[in-house]
Amino acid sequence: MALRAGRRLSWWGLLVPTVLLYALIFFVPLGVLVGESLRAGSDGPLSGVNYSAFFSDGVTLGIFLRTVRLSLLITLACVLLGYPLALFMRRAGPALRLVALAVVVSPLLTSVVVRNVAWLLVLGREGMVNTLLRQAGLIDAPLPLLYNTFGVVVGVTHVYLAFLVMPVFSSLLSIDPSLEDAAASLGASRTTVFWRVTLPLSFPGLIAGTTLVFVLSMGVYLTPVIMGGSFVTTLPMVMTDLVRNQFDWPRAAAFAIVLLAFIALVLGLSSRAERRIERMRGEGM
């Protein structure tokens, strides 16, 4: 008994370095942030005024909802592009798989500024796409591809695609092909096999991937500044301005906490969905 307790304790001991590190670089600053967010102005008295401002100042809530909308659009774009790609990678041979993976991951290895400026050259009014379309006689006036929501979705999807493809790909790989063969041998068409077998079995990866992309997109800052021409305003841009230009750190802290709480909620919902799927599968088998 004592031996087992001791062993369990030493297992917990493995956590110590991480817990210490997180306490130092995450939980302590987070505590400071919460403390700061409860002040009315720097060095002001305790108050919830910064939190109520989020909902009642007439602008911030709107920007937050637009940020959610933008993140949903990015997530949708990632699913539409990423899921077929992951399916392709599952079928492809090792060499092709490696090439596809390298292409998807490569944006993560480039600086965000370089990537965005390259997009400016492609999507700008005098950029590659518009020039080609105009020379082909398909359009008269340049299409507005940049400095709007479309531009931001393109720029962010380009990078975050990897975060969707990876989990979906690994969850597709773990599907036993004999399940699909079985469905086919029982008369299911290829589309039925996909909708009834492959897709549901890849849900854990899809949920993980979409959650990751959505959560990351909620914090996007530089791409809306460069490719959205600042007309696409996200909550992190509001917070940066509060810190940088208005010196209102308590309010920025409160907004950060609200964003964090929202993200925690999304993560909670996502892990609940994943658990439910696992339970359903357990019952089915």
Partner 1 sequence: MTDQVRISRRAALRGLGALAAAPLAAPAVITRSLAAGETLVVYNFDGLLGKVIKDHWIDPFAQKAGVKVEVLTMQGSSPPMAKIKAQVDAGRPDADVIPMQMTDYVFGVRNNLFQTIDAKDIPEYANLYPSYITPHGPKLVLWSYGLAYNTDKIKTAPTKWADLWDPQYKGKAALNEALFDQALEMVNLVAKGKPLPVDDETFAYLTKLRPNLATLWTTGAQAEQLIRSGEVWIMPVWNGRVYPLKDQGVPIDFVSPQEGFFTRADPFCIPRGARNPDLAKAFIDFSCTVAPQQALAEKLFYASPNKKVVYSPEIAKRVVVSTPEELARAVPENYELIVDNLPDWRRRWDAWKQS
Q: How far is the CB of 179 from partner 1 (least distance, A)?
A: 49
Of 11-19, 69-77, 122-130, 274-282: span binding partner 1 (CB under 8 A): 122-130
Asked if 249 and 182 count as a contact pair (C-beta separation under 8 A), the reply is no
- Amino acid code (one letter) for 209: G
Q: Is 32 in the site for partner 1 (CB under 8 A)?
A: no
Residues in contact with partner 1, total (CB under 8 A)? 31
- Give me the sign of the Cα torsion angle 248, 252, 255, 257: negative
Question: Is there binding between residue 49 and partner 1 (CB under 8 A)?
Answer: no
Per CB under 8 A, the segment of 88-96, 158-166, 197-205, 225-233 that binds partner 1 is 225-233
The residue among 23 and 117 lying less far from partner 1, judged by its C-beta, is 117
Nearer to partner 1, 106 or 230 (CB): 230
Backbone Cα Rg of the chain: 24
d(CA 168, CA 80): 12
At closest approach, how far in Å is the CB of 246 from partner 1? 5
229 lines the binding site for partner 1 (CB under 8 A): yes
Can residue 225 be called a binding residue for partner 1 (CB under 8 A)? yes
The CB-of-122 to partner 1 minimum distance in angstroms stands at 11
Give the nearest distance from C-beta 54 to partner 1 in angstroms. 12
Give residue for tokens 């007439």.
58
Q: Is residue 255 a contact point for partner 1 (CB under 8 A)?
A: no
Nearer to partner 1, 47 or 174 (CB): 47
Q: Which stretch binds partner 1 (CB under 8 A): 16-24, 170-178, 244-252, 255-263?
A: 244-252
Site for partner 1 in 54-113 (CB under 8 A): 57-59, 62-63, 66
The correct pick among 77, 161, 165, 226 for binding partner 1 (CB under 8 A) is 226
Considering only 100-108, 116-124, 178-186, 268-276, which stretch makes contact with partner 1 by CB under 8 A?
116-124
Output the six-digit token pair for 258.
């609200």
Q: Do residues 86 and 172 make contact, with C-beta atoms less than 8 angstroms apart?
A: yes
Tokens of 94: 């090792």
Q: Which of 244, 282, 284, 285 binds partner 1 (CB under 8 A)?
A: 244
**Segment contacting partner 1 by CB under 8 A, of 76-84, 125-133, 181-189, 191-199:** 125-133
The residues of the shown chain that bind partner 1, judged by CB under 8 A, are 42, 57-59, 62-63, 66, 117, 120-121, 124-127, 146-147, 225-226, 229-231, 233, 238, 241, 243-249
